[in-house]
Structure 1
């Protein structure tokens, strides 16, 4: 079989011959939209692949770009898909696939971090990563610094738009010193870098960082296992405090309601007050309140 393909040649490729280089997760809603669009108007842009020969001598292809479209074709029961065939080395194919994932308008935060980390592990410089991904050089440098420090929680907050990158760098620079971290947070607030929802989110991230470690999710460090018991106790205590506060709030609201009901009963016994209400056409009240003022259903 002839495997010599000219760059940019579009061919129909069997789906079972395509191997995904950098598989990634995609929300079900987004995927359903891709499938619906392809079913309605067809494939607007072919996927990109590069040809290879497997151990048995058969031709296969490495997917560079278009995993969503490929899976959509599989979901629709298709056997072949239009593909732009480019002849590039393994390293270039890997980088092109990573860059495509990172440069997407709506990538997942963890995908960006994973992509940059893989490029770092392969020996790429910050400048070359910025050039290949189209990201700002300073931004990539700060991301790489946080990656080297293992600050995954801060990084996810940055990529989600929760807190600015410079604030994350300042917090990371404070290390595990709680006073220094709080001072960094206060400085960010006073400078206007953190406001409103961002400040609230930053406090939550810092709290999780202190309790669960810098790594996020299942990648948490050993520190997580060392403090798991303490974490459970603290979580329980926090929940008890929250429930106690809710009970107090409910009791206070009930006292105010009883006061209002008592006052209304006294006023409604005053004929002059009742006549005034009638003159102003205020002869009804909310059912919830009326049932408490007149528990037997009778009223003046």
Structure 2
């Protein structure tokens, strides 16, 4: 992870911890200043939770610790209507549920959605390094709060190039993303960016998608290193490249308006929609139908 990103998030986590230190424990509290006990059934999960995996053994160990010495640090929540939304402390909350305790100590702070998402990311990084995939998923959810990716990169204190690497996870096939959610540390952001680049260069070549599934199975079994995934796919693309012709550009008044392309399975014509009139489109359809007939 970028050192500047970790430093920024660590600072936000420390600011949140400072709120805990300064909070006065009372049942009647001012939002953002004191903490109290809240019923577990009034706390909703954080939609921006960056961590995707919560091993049961770790939750059980934490529950044993809480049972023996108590909760060392309250969870953080924000008020949403008459309920509360978790900001940080998912593992502590799960441990309390495992212990069937009705309430949990919580610090209620004033935070908008962007702050909630950033704090959740900061708290998790402070306790245990998140995987690049989990950070990427969290940053993707943060993106909706920023008009441009440049602003998002600036707010996180990272280069745009590194931001794009984190966001590359979102461009992976859904099947791979689901498997990553279960084992998020399998793939780094750099390896993900390399895979996405190969997939984009291959276009709609289904053989590359099948090859990715094959490569992923090798990765999960430990027979292929993540740094070699992209080259594994590139070799497959090179093997099939000889059967794929380069696209022929369709020109109009010196400008490219479309392409003819051919793969082992398809002949494809693509033309910009505003180039042809409805009458011309109909003529092309009729010509193709007559030609095939």
TM-score by length of 2: 0.49
More RCO (CA 8 Å, sep 6+): 2
Name the one with the larger helix percent: 1
Name the one with the larger strand percent: 2
